[in-house]
């Protein structure tokens, strides 16, 4: 049975099932945010491969993902200093994407809560 190809519509569907995720835009492109913090969006910078997704994730987790599945996860010089990983959407399956977005949600949510405590 052929697997379902992942596109941003599937990313949106999975992410909007998570608490407090909302649709937004970033530089005119669709994005998904937790509060005001970015969760995921299409990779817009020219250094990213076509059909790539930017997902907010901690640096340690990013290193683990890239080391474990370099065909799916990567980073370019433009994104290296941001807590993000690039995902080749055509190579990730929906279940793995769901797991990744849940990890990203926990990362973004914990940073959002920490920020709210400081205010």
Residue 71's Cβ-count burial label (10 Å; 0-12, 13-18, 19+) is: exposed
Residue 75 · residue 66 · CB < 8 Å = yes
Helix (H, G, I), strand (E, B) or coil at 74: strand
pLDDT given for residue 114 in this prediction: 47
Q: Which helix (H) or strand (E) holds 30?
A: strand 29-34
Tens digit of each residue's pLDDT (9 = 90 or more) over 89-102: 999 999 999 999 99
Gap between the Cα atoms of 104 and 84, Å rounded = 9
33 CB-side CA count, 13 A: 12
How far apart CA 114 and CA 53 sit, in angstroms, is 26
Domains of the chain, first to last? 8-118 (3.90.1150.30)
pLDDT tens digits, 33-76: 998 999 999 999 999 999 999 999 999 999 999 999 999 999 99
Task: Say how far apart CA 87 and CA 54 lie, in whole Å.
Answer: 6
pTM of the model: 0.89
């Amino acid at each position: 049975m052929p697997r379902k190809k992942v596109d941003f519509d599937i990313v949106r569907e999975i992410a909007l099932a998570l608490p407090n995720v909302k649709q937004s835009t970033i530089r005119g492109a669709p994005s998904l945010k937790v509060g005001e913090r970015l969760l995921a969006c299409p990779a817009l910078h020219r250094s990213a491969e076509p059909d790539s997704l930017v997902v907010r994730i901690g640096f340690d987790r990013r290193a683990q993902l890239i080391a474990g599945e370099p065909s799916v996860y990567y980073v370019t010089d433009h994104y290296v200093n941001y807590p993000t990983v690039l995902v080749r959407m055509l190579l990730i399956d929906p279940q793995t994407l769901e797991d990744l977005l849940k990890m990203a949600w926990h990362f973004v949510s914990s940073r959002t809560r920490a920020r709210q405590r400081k205010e």
